[in-house]
Amino acid sequence: MKIAILGTRGIPNNYGGFEQCAENLSVGLVENGYNVTVYSIDSHPYQSKTFKGVNIIKKYCPENKIGSAAHFIYDFICLKDALKKDFDVIFEFGYQSVAISFALLPIKKSVIVTNMDGLEWKRAKWSPFVKKLTKWFEKLASEKSTFLISDNKGIQDYIKQKYNKESVMIPYGADKVNPKKEFLTKYNVTIQDYFLLIARLEPENNIEMILDGYLSSEHPTRFLVVGNTETSYGKYLKDKYIQSDIVFLGSIFNKEDLDSLRKFAKVYFHGHSVGGTNPALLEAMAAKAFIFAHNNVFNRDVLEDNAFFFKNSNEVQHLLNCLKDIEKSKKQKISNNSIKIDNEYSHQNITNQYINLIEKISR
Residues in the chain: 363
Asked if the model's pLDDT at residue 120 lies above 70, the reply is no
Residue of 141, 175, 172 whose CA lies nearest to 159 = 141
Whether pLDDT at 187 is above 80: yes
Q: How many CB atoms lie within 10 A of CB 33?
A: 8
CATH topology of domain 2-173+346-362: Rossmann fold (3.40.50)
CATH of 181-344, one of 3.30.413.10, 3.40.50.2000, 3.90.1010.10, 1.10.10.10: 3.40.50.2000
* pLDDT surpasses 90 at 14: no
pLDDT of amino acid 204 = 87
What pLDDT is attached to residue 126? 65
Percent of the chain past pLDDT 70, that is, above it, reads 97
Query: Which residues, in sequence order, are bridge partners of residue 149?
Result: 115, 168
| Mean pLDDT (whole number) for 225-235 | 93
The DSSP call for residue 195 is E
**CA atoms within 13 A of residue 54's CA, in its CB half-sphere:** 26
Is the model's pLDDT at 134 over the cut of 90?
Answer: no
Q: Is the pTM of this model over 0.75?
A: yes
Phi, psi of 182 (to 5 degrees): -65, -20
Structure confidence at residue 109 as a pLDDT band (50, 70, 90): confident
- Does the pLDDT value for residue 96 go beyond 80? yes
Question: 302 in helix, strand or coil?
Answer: helix
Query: Mean per-residue pLDDT for 63-79?
Result: 90
pLDDT at 218: 94
Confidence of residue 25 (pLDDT cuts 50, 70, 90): very high
Q: What is the pLDDT of residue 121?
A: 59
- Mapped onto helix, strand or coil, the DSSP state of residue 291 is strand
Beta-carbon count within 10 A of 160 CB: 14
% residues pLDDT > 90 (the chain): 76
| Residue 184, C-beta contacts closer than 8 angstroms, at least 6 positions apart | 190, 191, 260, 261, 264
Which pLDDT band, with edges at 50, 70 and 90, does 124 fall under? low
> Model confidence at 97, in pLDDT bands (50, 70, 90)?
confident
Across the chain, mean pLDDT equals: 92
Predicted pLDDT at 188: 93
18 compared with 45, residue with greater pLDDT = 45
Peptide bond preceding 179: is omega within 30 degrees of 0, i.e. cis?
no
Structural domain boundaries of the chain?
Answer: 2-173+346-362, 181-344
Greater pLDDT, 259 or 277: 259
Please give the average per-residue pLDDT across 282-297, as a whole number.
96
* Residues 360 and 188 sit within 8 Å (Cβ to Cβ): no
Compute how many other C-beta atoms are within 10 angstroms of the C-beta atom of residue 328: 8
Per-residue pLDDT at 203 exceeds 80? yes
Candidates 326, 316, 322; CA nearest to 215 is: 316
Does pLDDT of 223 surpass 80?
yes
Distances (CA, A) of 44 to 49, 56, 115, 295: 12, 11, 22, 36
Cα gap 178→197, rounded to integer Å: 20
